[in-house]
A and B are shown apart, each in its own frame.
Chain A
Amino acid sequence: RKEVEQDPGPFNVPEGATVAFNCTYSNSASQSFFWYRQDCRKEPKLLMSVYSSGNEDGRFTAQLNRASQYISLLIRDSKLSDSATYLCVVNPLGSGGYNKLIFGAGTRLAVHP
């Protein structure tokens, strides 16, 4: 079983739609969680960190469920510019206390007019 699992998609949605991505992780000791965004042929960039209480940044909302080892990302009012691959990322802090990031394979989102 992979340490971080995501639905690869693609999710094809019209502009203005709300779309949700889910992710599960296997290491229950993991302490920090992120969503990174990767555009085609570009490097990954941090979209947002995911905190236990859940957090929101504009149209983006991230949730964490530690009991189920589940992370989600909700995008409201999708824009064409949201088209990208969204990578679920986990830091298994048990491995020395530094930021060794474990990435999922990513979920592709395509927003169409």
Chain B
Amino acid sequence: GAGVSQSPRYKVTKRGQDVALRCDPISGHVSLYWYRQALGQGPEFLTYFNYEAQQDKSGLPNDRFSAERPEGSISTLTIQRTEQRDSAMYRCASSHTSESSYNEQFFGPGTRLTVL
């Protein structure tokens, strides 16, 4: 079956532009997570959705970052007025539920964002 998909896979933008990154989770997965991964580091939590509700956005670096999941399926991470320090791999993950602490999270291939 299809895994988590993300688009675009690569995004190059100029400083000051807005970008929107899309995540399509595994069908039927209730929980959706956004992470950011810098080179040589592990993924860093950004935000989490349970169905369409954003349950935790404590990892979003500042108010230029926002995310939504209006119908409880596809999610969009938006970065406004991008800065060079926003350059990273942005990864989405989904899991069947969040009921158990051992539910596996399945990661997408990521969007490599480069801000010039």
Contacts and interface: CB of A to CB of B under 8 A. Distances in A.
Interface string A73-113: 00000000000000101010101111111111110000000
A36 B1 CA distance: 21
Contacts of A91: 101
Interface of B: 31, 33, 35, 40-45, 48, 50, 55-56, 91, 95, 98, 101-105, 107-110
A98 B56 contact: yes
Contacts of B42: 4, 44, 87, 89, 103-106
B105 A99 contact: yes
A43 B33 CA distance: 14
* Most chain A beta carbons < 10 A, residue from B42, B105, B108: B42
A44 to B, nearest CB: 5
Contacts of B91: 43-44
A46 interface: yes
A99 B98 contact: yes
A63 to B, nearest CB: 17
A106 B103 CA distance: 21
A31 B101 contact: yes
A101 B102 contact: no
Given A93-B101, A106-B42, A44 B56 contact: no
30 contacts: A8-B40, A32-B102, A43-B91, A43-B107, A43-B108, A44-B42, A44-B43, A44-B91, A46-B105, A87-B43, A89-B42, A91-B101, A93-B101, A97-B101, A98-B31, A98-B55, A98-B98, A99-B31, A99-B33, A99-B103, A100-B33, A100-B56, A101-B33, A101-B43, A102-B45, A103-B35, A103-B44, A105-B40, A105-B42, A106-B42
A95 B48 CA distance: 12
Closest 10 pairs (CB-CB, A-B): A103-B42, A43-B107, A98-B98, A32-B101, A46-B104, A87-B42, A103-B43, A105-B41, A91-B101, A105-B42
B44 A98 contact: no
A4 to B, nearest CB: 8
